[in-house]
Amino acid sequence: MTNIQQVAKQAGVSVATVSRVLNGQNTVSSKTRIKVEEAIKNLNYEPSMLGRNLRNSESRILLILIPSISNPFYLEIIKGIEQIALSQNYNILLCETDSNPEKENIYFDLVRKKMADGIISMDPAVNIETLKELAEKYSIIQCSEYNLDSGIPYVTIDNEEASYRAVKHLIQIGHKKIALMNSDEKFLYARQREMGYQRALEEHEIPLNDDYIIYTKHLGFEHGQQAVKKILAIQDRPTAIFAVSDLLAIGALKEINASGLHVPKDIAVIGFDKIDFSNMTNPTLTTIAQPMYKMGTVAAEMLIDKIRGNDVDNVILNYELVLREST
Amino acid sequence: MTNIQQVAKQAGVSVATVSRVLNGQNTVSSKTRIKVEEAIKNLNYEPSMLGRNLRNSESRILLILIPSISNPFYLEIIKGIEQIALSQNYNILLCETDSNPEKENIYFDLVRKKMADGIISMDPAVNIETLKELAEKYSIIQCSEYNLDSGIPYVTIDNEEASYRAVKHLIQIGHKKIALMNSDEKFLYARQREMGYQRALEEHEIPLNDDYIIYTKHLGFEHGQQAVKKILAIQDRPTAIFAVSDLLAIGALKEINASGLHVPKDIAVIGFDKIDFSNMTNPTLTTIAQPMYKMGTVAAEMLIDKIRGNDVDNVILNYELVLREST
DNA sequence: TTGAAAGCGCTAACAT
DNA sequence: ATGTTAGCGCTTTCAA
């Protein structure tokens, strides 16, 4: 491996000058610059990030914490993060926590050990106490899921409002018996979306029916299947389902089909996120579109800003109701 | 940030001794070890990977090149890679190339610049000349897609045989008019799967019909939809379709449904990969299961072996035919 | 405009 | 069993 010393020797200059050329400083005469560039070419020299990073005391790596790589919702966000990261010469380390605190802690160690310059956390189940502690020393942003009192900057959408909008749509097309397929109430977004659901019902004077609210442990396809079985078994069966995640809704769709019922004739279904697959189902899924790519770019910009030592503000992005075949 | 010096001072020993404790060397008396460990705790010391990595001339990062993060096929492989990587104290940098040589080259630079210790390439469209050149200086493994003459070690399945098995299944359940929905012939796996398709037909004395072979540019859902339209428009319409990727097959499924035809009554469909979603469609998809997780673990083991300077052998893993509702 | 030299945090060879 | 010290490859301060 050739290093900066050898380039300097070959070019007949000092390592400082080579470094200056490498970093595009304009304090180098064009004659010397050319000499150096030739030497670099001759020797096939590639500067080592290891040396540079130690010297600059940075890793130029951003940590992305997601609960599961299998949920396409996160993939679109990641693409947004990546676009900004690459343009600013950062690389991203994608870490799947499985909502497991131990795994999470291994990844937190990466920033403690200077292997990463900052974290974008998207795990709703993240240990918020640890995260807060970490946020005192390191740069951290929360994306999608967040905590109001943590002081950690976040980017998200207005979950209560989006949920209200979804349920209101169901009411407007004539439904009164509307089930809510929620995730776990320990997550802020779950509580917010439930509040939106309640507000829409109350506003239209539809009484709340606790039997119509089903909770699932995870946001997987199979959990949607299981949950919808319970809903179908209710005596006064709902005519519509609002699922707080497309994956749940897609699972519901499949199970409803299997049970011989028809969507949307017998039961209407609306999802949340607008993942790619929501357009591939039969029928296609009506859903609340989250601006995932945008959330990613904003989160990345916020994080890089924070790493540079600037203060950053929270951001609330807009959602959209996407009408398709399932309602 | 506290460093090794400060720990040494606090513990009343030399930095060498601290380093020894850090690295679990047994040449340290338990008395000193305890002193050092206490100092580490007191000072909240975390060793910097930046210093260690420069000193050891390694980054402990593995580069994973995939064409698209949206294809779930790769996600399962990545999980396998990750499991091995983490257990060996490596981290993985996931890089989506979009099969774009420029983007690819940015990522290649990471290994040239010592930001990564090796590469697992899964992009069929990778610039093989560049990869070969790189493989002379750096550790590289190909996973799933490979090149016979490159000398780059690979892990894969027997595509020809698996494809033969899929088509033979269709023949066995009574089909004679079988379409092949292939990707681009410039990819080795595409050629291999086409050969398997041909062999199965020939063996059962079914004449080859060029009209029944459709090529798609990419392995996306939408490309499956488009391709199946062409197939449905053929005068002597096929009664079965073998798609070389589940995503294509799922797109086909959806489009066939939309056209009013029924799977498998009117047209049987078989896919390839066994991605999670192949079980979520209606009907569920018969498919060739690739051992994706295993491919990942093997690839990671091979790469780490190679980084350590060992020679590694190519590996061919087993596939499986998974019968479900679509045939 | 350029060079000499210090130092980022760590490991390991060598000495004791 | 422990310490001294060189050096990994780079950037930057200071001096010329």
pLDDT at B52: 98
Shared domain for B267 and B298, answered yes or no, is no
Chain A residues with CB-CB distance to B66 below 8 A:
none
Q: Where residue A41 sits, what CATH number does that domain have?
A: 1.10.260.40
Whether A52 is in a domain gets the answer: no
Number of A/B CB contacts below 8 angstroms equals 103
For a pLDDT cut of 90, what percent of chain A falls above it? 96
Shared domain for B153 and B168, answered yes or no, is no
pLDDT at B280: 86
Question: Which residues have CB under 8 Å from A254's CB, separation 6+?
Answer: A221, A224, A225, A281, B280, B281, B282
Q: How many C-alpha atoms does B270 have within 13 Å on its Cβ side? A: 27
Q: How far is the CA of B50 from the C1' of D9 (A)?
A: 12
Q: What is the signed CA dihedral for B162, B164, B170, B176, rounded to 10 degrees?
A: 160
**Full DSSP string of B20-46:** HHHTT-S-S-HHHHHHHHHHHHHHT--
Nucleic strand D under 7 Å from the C-beta of A15: yes
pLDDT at B1: 86
Burial B276-292 (b: 16+ CB within 10 A, else e): bbbbbbbbbbbbbbbbb
| Placement of tokens 């080795």 in the chain | B188
Contact A257 B282 (CB under 8 A): yes
Chain A residues with CB-CB distance to B78 below 8 A:
69
Nucleic strand D under 7 Å from the C-beta of A10: no
Instruction: Kindly report the nearest CA distance between residue A46 and chain B, in angstroms.
Output: 6
Q: How far is the CA of A55 from the C1' of C7 (A)?
A: 8
The domain of B141 spans 61-157+292-317
Contact B115 A46 (CB under 8 A): no
Pick from A1, A70, A114: CB nearest B50: A114
Instruction: Kindly report the nearest CA distance between residue A54 and chain B, in angstroms.
Output: 5
Whether A324 is in a domain gets the answer: no
Residue B108 has pLDDT above 90, yes or no: yes
Q: Where residue A268 sits, what CATH number does that domain have?
A: 3.40.50.2300
Residue B21 has pLDDT above 90, yes or no: yes
Shared domain for A172 and A83, answered yes or no, is no
Which residue is the nearest neighbor of C7, CA to C1'? A55
Question: Which residues have CB under 8 Å from B303's CB, separation 6+?
Answer: B62, B118, B119, B120, B139, B140, B141
Shared domain for B151 and B298, answered yes or no, is yes
> In angstroms, rounded to a whole number, what is the distance separating the alpha carbons of residues B277 and B226?
19
Strand A320-322's sheet: what is its strand order? A213-215, A178-182, A240-243, A268-273, A286-289, A320-322
CB-based contact B143:B136 (threshold 8 Å): no
Burial A86-96 (b: 16+ CB within 10 A, else e): beeebbbbbbb
For strand D, the positions having any atom within 7 A of a protein Cβ are 1-13
Shared domain for A220 and A207, answered yes or no, is yes
Instruction: Kindly report the nearest CA distance between residue A241 and chain B, in angstroms.
Output: 19
- Rg (chain A; Cα; Å): 25
Which residues on neighbouring strands pair with residue B179, listed in sequence order? B241
Pick from A49, A96, A114: CB nearest B49: A114
Nucleic strand D under 7 Å from the C-beta of B57: yes
**Burial of B157: CB neighbours in 10 Å, binned 0-12, 13-18, 19+:** buried
Shared domain for A308 and A281, answered yes or no, is no
Q: How many C-alpha atoms does A258 have within 13 Å on its Cβ side? A: 18
Whether B152 is in a domain gets the answer: yes
Residue ranges of chain A whose CB lies within 8 Å of a chain B CB: 1, 46-51, 53-54, 57, 59, 61, 69-70, 72, 75, 78-79, 82, 86, 91-94, 96, 106, 109-110, 112-115, 221, 250-251, 253-254, 257-258, 276-277, 280-282
> In angstroms, rounded to a whole number, what is the distance separating the alpha carbons of residues A155 and A147?
11
Shared domain for B283 and B209, answered yes or no, is yes
pLDDT bin (cut points 50, 70, 90) of residue B85 is very high
| Helix runs in chain A, H state only | 4-11, 15-22, 30-43, 49-56, 72-87, 101-112, 128-137, 159-172, 188-203, 221-232, 246-258, 292-307
Whether B232 is in a domain gets the answer: yes
Instruction: Kindly report the nearest CA distance between residue A263 and chain B, in angstroms.
Output: 13
Pick from A50, A79, A281: CB nearest B53: A50
Question: Which tens digits make up the pLDDT trace of A89-142?
Answer: 999 999 999 989 999 999 999 999 999 999 999 999 999 999 999 999 999 999
Nucleic strand D under 7 Å from the C-beta of B54: yes
> In angstroms, rounded to a whole number, what is the distance separating the alpha carbons of residues A60 and A88?
9
Question: Which tens digits make up the pLDDT trace of B264-293?
Answer: 999 999 999 999 989 988 899 999 999 999
Contact A69 B75 (CB under 8 A): yes
Residue of B nearest to A54 (CA): B50
Whether B54 is in a domain gets the answer: no
Q: CA nearest A92: which of A283, A299, A320, A322?
A: A299
Q: Which nucleotide is nearest to A50 (CA to C1')?
A: D9
Contact B59 A78 (CB under 8 A): no
Q: What's the whole-number mean pLDDT along residues B216-241?
A: 96
Nucleic strand D under 7 Å from the C-beta of A72: no
Pick from A112, A254, A282: CB nearest B257: A282
Shared domain for B215 and B197, answered yes or no, is yes
Whether A278 is in a domain gets the answer: yes
Q: Which nucleotide is nearest to B30 (CA to C1')?
A: D1
Residues of chain A with pLDDT under 50: none
CB-based contact B255:B224 (threshold 8 Å): yes
Q: What's the whole-number mean pLDDT along residues B86-95?
A: 96
pLDDT at B282: 86
Instruction: Kindly report the nearest CA distance between residue A311 and chain B, in angstroms.
Output: 21
Mean of all residue pLDDT scores within chain B? 96
Q: CA nearest A228: which of A193, A258, A186?
A: A258
Q: For residue A131, what is the DSSP state?
A: H
Chain A residues with CB-CB distance to B1 below 8 A:
114
Q: What's the whole-number mean pLDDT along residues B126-138?
A: 96
pLDDT at A164: 98
Instruction: Kindly report the nearest CA distance between residue A205 and chain B, in angstroms.
Output: 37
Whole-model pTM: value is 0.94
Contact B46 A112 (CB under 8 A): yes
> In angstroms, rounded to a whole number, what is the distance separating the alpha carbons of residues B108 and B237?
46
Question: Which tens digits make up the pLDDT trace of B236-263?
Answer: 999 999 999 999 999 999 999 999 999 9
Shared domain for B220 and B166, answered yes or no, is yes
Beta strands in B208-324 (DSSP E): 213-215, 240-243, 268-273, 286-289, 315-317, 320-322
pLDDT at B70: 86
**Full DSSP string of A257-320:** HHTT--TTTT-EEEEEE--GGGGTSSSPPEEEEP-HHHHHHHHHHHHHHHHTT-----EEE--E
Which residue is the nearest neighbor of C13, CA to C1'? B16
Shared domain for B195 and B167, answered yes or no, is yes
Supply B242's token pair: 């073998």
CA B110 to chain centre: 19
CA distances from B108 to A2, B52, B123, B272, B312 (A): 18, 23, 13, 30, 22
pLDDT at B256: 96
Shared domain for A163 and A17, answered yes or no, is no
Whether B323 is in a domain gets the answer: no
Would you tell me which residues have their CB within 7 A of strand C? A 12-17, 20, 27-29, 31-33, 54-55, 57; B 1, 3-5, 15-16, 18-19, 22-23, 47-48, 50-52, 54-56
Shared domain for B198 and B276, answered yes or no, is yes
Whether B55 is in a domain gets the answer: no
**Structurally, how many domains does chain A consist of?**
3
Chain B residues with CB-CB distance to A73 below 8 A:
none
